[in-house]
Structure 1
Amino acid sequence: MRHLPRYSENKKKDKAKVTMAQAFKTIIWPRRNLVFIGLILIVIRSLAGLVLPWQSKVLLDRVVPSKDMTQVYTLVAIVLSAILIQAVTSFSLTRILSVQAQYLISELRAQVQKKVLSLPISFFDNTKSGALVSRIMTDVEGVRNLIGTGLVQLVGGSFTAIVSLIILIKLNPWMTLFVFVPLSIFGYIALRAFKYIRPIFRTRGKINSEVTGRLTETLAGVRVIKAFNAEAQENEVFEKGVNKLYQNVKKSLTATAFMTSSSTFLIGVATTGIMGIGGYYMMQSEMTTGDFLFFTLILGFMIAPIVQMSNIGSQLTEALAGLDRTEELMNMAAEADDMERDIELDNLKGDIEFDDVSFAYEEGKEVLHNISFNAPAGSVTALVGSSGSGKSTIAGLSATFLNPKSGKITIDDKDLSKIKLTSYRKYLGVVLQDEFLFEGTIKENIMFPRPNASENELQYAVKAAYVNEFTDRFEDGLETLIGERGVKLSGGQRQRLAIARAILANPKIIILDEATSNLDTESEALIQKSLGELVKDRTTIVIAHRLSTIRKADQILVIEAGYIVERGTHDVLIAKKGRYFDLYTYQAKI
């Protein structure tokens, strides 16, 4: 990823605004050799384009009066050669710069995706996945106008316009001055329009990501939508989104239409004036017919790039607006950017200790209060309590998905907030209540944490989690496609697959969040056997509503309203006849 924009990593939340100078420094300058070649090609193309009007003047003023056919043949050969040069340079421009622009887009997308995956879990909790897809795939597309033919055409068009202007001044300075006035007015209008359009393009990117995010959610939750007969409701939400997008596009179209209409009117005024002034000069014999035709054609060469530059200017404005939004992402602090995390774990026993830990998702609203407990290496610690009591928050803190507001968490007596995340998470395994499975085969999902695992290791994980109990009945076995998020499997089958994945990962620390909640009685019995294998000699934190599954836990913590209200083994807590006893006896009655 050399030569991609190098953005400063900071926590500023101010809206980023990429200047053309920044874009030049980070995107264009590293590719200066290609851009220079492009400029040479476009200069050659522009000069070759001037041959036709020049030879037209020669034809009318010299060749036709002399009736010399040899000169006609020579003139035709010169014009054809110029046209061939134009064609070759145009092809080369597209081949060199447009292809390079697409390569840059692919690299930049990869860089942004890498950045997004480096962000903390809290970022994803507050951002729609569909919106992120739009920002990764769409926002960077405008870059093609910076390194592709757009910018080169802007520079090349400027060169053509300047050369044409010099020729026009030499032909007739007064006619040129008459043309220059309306063109200057158009230039002022265009600059004002670009300043107005840029925030519109920026807002469009935001709206587009919101609409894409909602659409992604709708397609993912189509079963829920149909089950609740909510198609009309979702249609209305989407229609509002696309209408908002339409209103934004309408604003930009109005601005560009105003520019186009202004150019048409002002250029029309200039052309009309040229007809009158040119007619006067020809009647006064101060200008030949060839001179007038030459002036008119060269005028076209000067005006065309200016009008084209207004379109290219819109494209560059859109590109910079996309880069604004991209830079916002690139400026966010990644998990690994925490300079205090400098401890590298070479080995791990798995002793976890919470020391007076408190946590709040929002300022002033604590969900955990002064939590303290020790989970020795190889032990099983169960978290029980009513929904919303803080069990999953404790698990999230243990997995380093969250960071304590106060207090300290240690692993093997080392402060977890000082340990490099990658060195800790390589020892971590997580099985969630609603486990995420990737579209693909059963085998691919099990091998996700260790793609290079051996066949023996794979088979061990499959048998330990009793995945073979159902894959043996499938025609394609482990190569069976499971559909998006594993929709072709039952809840129990998905859960066993997730446990097999965790077994294959061979972690030192296991976090089980409602790992048996989606299972029928038969599947639960099988899973309990596989979990026994999974937690063996590993530090395990279990969250469970089914209290029957944690009777053998080394310690049980009863969490209520963010506090540990009871702790002990199953037998000790039953004997206390407190909160755990109430929960257990209530479930037993059910």
Structure 2
Amino acid sequence: MRHLQTSDKKNKTKPKVTLKQAFKTIIWPRRKLVLLGLILIIIRSLAGFVLPLQSKVLLDKVVPGKDYSQLYTLIAIVVTAILVQAITSFLLTKVLSIQAQYLISELRAQVQKKVLSLPISFFDNTKSGALVSRIMSDVDGVKNLIGTGLVQLVGGSFTAILTLIILLRMNVWMTLSTFIPLSIFGIIALKSFKHIRPIFRARGKINAQVKGRLTETLAGVRVIKAFNAEDQESKVFEKGVNDIFINVKKSLTATAIMTSSSTFLIGLATAGIMGIGGHYMMQGEITPGDFLKFTMLLAFMVAPIVQMSNIGSQLTEALAGLDRTEELMNMAAEEDDVNRNILLEEFKGEIEFKDVSFEYEAGKPVLHNIDFKAASGSVIALVGSSGSGKSTIAGLSATFLNPKSGQITIDGKDLSKVKLKSFRQHLGVVLQDEFLFEGTIRENILFPRPDATEAQLKAAVNAAYVNEFTDRFEEGLETLIGERGVKLSGGQRQRIAIARAILADPKIIILDEATSNLDTESEALIQKSLAELTKNRTTIVIAHRLSTIRKADQILVIENGKIAERGNHDELIASQGRYFDLYTYQAKI
């Protein structure tokens, strides 16, 4: 989807999509289909004129003349017209409604692709449930632009104008008696739409917030039950759905004003027609057939105006959804950074931090002047107390974060100027709370390389000792693990994550306390597989159990965002500093 250009240059984060912009970007590229839809609408409308026109013939000619031959002809004409209406209605659904649903699926795919291209910081500040709502719900109203909504509005307007011309030619005063109150209703409706659009936009935000919280609630149901917090979560959700109710109530009130206005004004118009029409019939100026023809044709003019409240609300909701979608599509993707123009060709994997500082919030630094070099193929271990900045260093190394000051280089090149895909294709990450997708064990291991051979898969499975437990499962690697691997133990999930990293065959490995969830037996198995995984690969290890990093080439002791000590295991033990204290404390436990 080409971005809808907002006219509000000062407020790029809250674009307001106009119908003209939506027409240009969504409707115009599909103009042939929309034109075909308009033609079908016009044919259906013209076929609808047959019944009121033939009604005059029936009352003024056929019945008085008792002409059965003409009666049969008239019935055949009416039935044919009804058949044409039925066929065109079916074709409208095939042409426009199905195309609208295809467009929705296309837009959802593009919005999801855009969301995945956004930086990690965006996801840190946005609920996943809210994003699901924006991807799935915000584009749903587009069906009213490319589908029946807009086409019905245009087609209905054509019918109303044509009907107005016919009615004026029949009787000017009878027509004016209806046209004036209907015009007043049209003015009321237009003003109401300006009031409704912000309500629909706010509804999208509220829906996203409520769905976001609901997603978190369902994902954390074990924690909720463990703390007996069901009532508390229910109250939070009740407040959210009540906010939705209040929003809907506002829109229904505005719609009710339009509906009530239409009922009253059309009632006045009907009374006027009865009075003026009755007068003209009693004066002999029009026949009963003329009056029936007039009243039936009047419905063709009134219907689009009455439908305006419904169609207008649909179009308003569609534009409000496009507002939010465009706001998302205008966000800068990671790869949009023009400064990132370096492609890594001969990749060695040497990482160096040069005087790097970082802060999540302005004025609250997390890292201070970090300096270290990880040579290609070396193992760098980060140790320290919780909150000291170890995971932040790992995040910077993986390009999930960007330093506030200083420089990180990869093979001597400034990492902030390297194309991210060029770097990340050589990167493997195993986290403490590793994420597994719902599906089978095989699918999760194959995730980084879906086209891997069976031999490569088996090698990764054996290297991470996944076969140690899958051989006991009836379905083996085809075992379903449930959402986020809920059917597996922590150690089993961790070994699957390590197998996934082994299969990816990266040049750089980041292990964020990758053995913390393992029992002693599993840890012994994993240590063997990690030794194979880190061979000839640059490795950054965040270690919780210091016994696992004794063979690291360099150990960095991080305290309060600074490197307090550095050296290998033997050197740090000999210096009897902070590392010595941590190591001897753990040895006693």
- Shared fold (TM-score greater than 0.5)? yes
**For residue 529 of structure 1, what is the aligned residue in structure 2?**
528
Identity %: 80
Task: Show CA shifts across 1:269-301 (max 9, x none).
Answer: 100111011111111111111111111111111
**For residue 247 of structure 1, what is the aligned residue in structure 2?**
246
CA distance in 1, matches of 2:437, 2:260: 52
Q: Is the 8 A contact 2:189 2:308 kept in 1?
A: no
User: In structure 2, do the counterparts of structure 1 residues 586 and 531 end up closer, same or farther at CA, with 3 Å as the change threshold?
Assistant: same
User: Letter of the aligned partner of 1:382 in structure 2?
Assistant: A
Q: TM-score, normalised by structure 1?
A: 0.98
The answer on 1:380 being equivalent to 2:379 is yes
**For residue 101 of structure 1, what is the aligned residue in structure 2?**
100
User: In structure 2, do the counterparts of structure 1 residues 222 and 469 end up closer, same or farther at CA, with 3 Å as the change threshold?
Assistant: same
User: Letter of the aligned partner of 2:398 in structure 1?
Assistant: A
User: Letter of the aligned partner of 1:399 in structure 2?
Assistant: A
The answer on 1:163 being equivalent to 2:162 is yes
**For residue 365 of structure 2, what is the aligned residue in structure 1?**
366
Question: Structure 1 residue 555: deviation in Å?
Answer: 0.5
Give runs of aligned pairs for residues 366-515 of structure 1, distance below 5 A: 366-515=365-514
**For residue 5 of structure 1, what is the aligned residue in structure 2?**
2
CA distance in 2, matches of 1:64, 1:503: 89
Q: Secondary structure at the match of 1:37?
A: helix
User: Letter of the aligned partner of 1:304 in structure 2?
Assistant: A
User: Letter of the aligned partner of 2:29 in structure 1?
Assistant: P
Give runs of aligned pairs for residues 109-120 of structure 1, distance below 5 A: 109-120=108-119
Question: Structure 1 residue 65: deviation in Å?
Answer: 2.0
The answer on 1:338 being equivalent to 2:317 is no
Question: Structure 1 residue 102: deviation in Å?
Answer: 0.4
CA distance in 1, matches of 2:572, 2:425: 34
Q: Secondary structure at the match of 1:489?
A: coil
**For residue 24 of structure 1, what is the aligned residue in structure 2?**
23
Question: Structure 1 residue 63: deviation in Å?
Answer: 1.8
**For residue 55 of structure 2, what is the aligned residue in structure 1?**
56
Question: Structure 1 residue 309: deviation in Å?
Answer: 2.3
The worse-fitting range, judged by mean Cα deviation, of 570-579 and 200-209 is 570-579
Q: Is the 8 A contact 1:466 1:530 kept in 2?
A: yes
CA distance in 1, matches of 2:436, 2:197: 40
Question: Structure 1 residue 366: deviation in Å?
Answer: 1.2
CA distance in 1, matches of 2:359, 2:48: 68
**For residue 588 of structure 2, what is the aligned residue in structure 1?**
589
Give runs of aligned pairs for residues 171-182 of structure 1, distance below 5 A: 171-182=170-181
CA distance in 1, matches of 2:286, 2:192: 38
Give runs of aligned pairs for residues 120-131 of structure 1, distance below 5 A: 120-131=119-130
User: In structure 2, do the counterparts of structure 1 residues 13 and 226 end up closer, same or farther at CA, with 3 Å as the change threshold?
Assistant: farther
CA distance in 2, matches of 1:82, 1:496: 70
CA distance in 2, matches of 1:373, 1:339: 28
User: In structure 2, do the counterparts of structure 1 residues 565 and 194 end up closer, same or farther at CA, with 3 Å as the change threshold?
Assistant: same
Q: Secondary structure at the match of 1:449?
A: coil
**For residue 74 of structure 1, what is the aligned residue in structure 2?**
73
User: Letter of the aligned partner of 2:406 in structure 1?
Assistant: G
Question: Structure 1 residue 40: deviation in Å?
Answer: 0.6
Question: Structure 1 residue 13: deviation in Å?
Answer: 5.0
Q: TM-score, normalised by structure 2?
A: 0.98
Gapped regions of structure 2 (runs ≥ 5):
none
CA distance in 2, matches of 1:487, 1:90: 50
CA distance in 1, matches of 2:178, 2:476: 77
CA distance in 1, matches of 2:3, 2:113: 14
Q: Is the 8 A contact 1:466 1:527 kept in 2?
A: yes
Question: Structure 1 residue 567: deviation in Å?
Answer: 0.8
Q: Is the 8 A contact 2:60 2:287 kept in 1?
A: yes
**For residue 85 of structure 1, what is the aligned residue in structure 2?**
84
**For residue 199 of structure 1, what is the aligned residue in structure 2?**
198
Count of matched residue pairs = 587
Task: Show CA shifts across 1:459-494 (max 9, x none).
Answer: 111111111111111111111111110011100111
CA distance in 1, matches of 2:15, 2:382: 44
Question: Structure 1 residue 310: deviation in Å?
Answer: 2.1
**For residue 355 of structure 2, what is the aligned residue in structure 1?**
356
CA distance in 1, matches of 2:496, 2:141: 42
**For residue 568 of structure 1, what is the aligned residue in structure 2?**
567
**For residue 287 of structure 2, what is the aligned residue in structure 1?**
288
User: Letter of the aligned partner of 1:5 in structure 2?
Assistant: R
Q: Secondary structure at the match of 2:365?
A: strand
Gapped regions of structure 1 (runs ≥ 5):
none
Question: Structure 1 residue 12: deviation in Å?
Answer: 6.2
User: Letter of the aligned partner of 1:521 in structure 2?
Assistant: T
Q: Is the 8 A contact 1:351 1:411 kept in 2?
A: yes
Q: Is the 8 A contact 2:4 2:17 kept in 1?
A: no
User: Letter of the aligned partner of 2:2 in structure 1?
Assistant: P
User: Letter of the aligned partner of 1:555 in structure 2?
Assistant: Q
Question: Structure 1 residue 71: deviation in Å?
Answer: 1.2
CA distance in 2, matches of 1:344, 1:262: 65
The list of structure 1 runs, each at least 4 consecutive aligned residues, that deviate by more than 6 angstroms after superposition, is 8-12
Question: Structure 1 residue 8: deviation in Å?
Answer: 6.5
Q: Is the 8 A contact 1:354 1:371 kept in 2?
A: yes
CA distance in 1, matches of 2:102, 2:489: 42
**For residue 141 of structure 1, what is the aligned residue in structure 2?**
140
Question: Structure 1 residue 265: deviation in Å?
Answer: 0.7
CA distance in 2, matches of 1:7, 1:372: 45
**For residue 347 of structure 1, what is the aligned residue in structure 2?**
346
User: Letter of the aligned partner of 1:217 in structure 2?
Assistant: E
Question: Structure 1 residue 347: deviation in Å?
Answer: 2.4
CA distance in 1, matches of 2:42, 2:471: 69
CA distance in 1, matches of 2:181, 2:563: 78
Question: Structure 1 residue 233: deviation in Å?
Answer: 0.7
Question: Structure 1 residue 5: deviation in Å?
Answer: 3.3
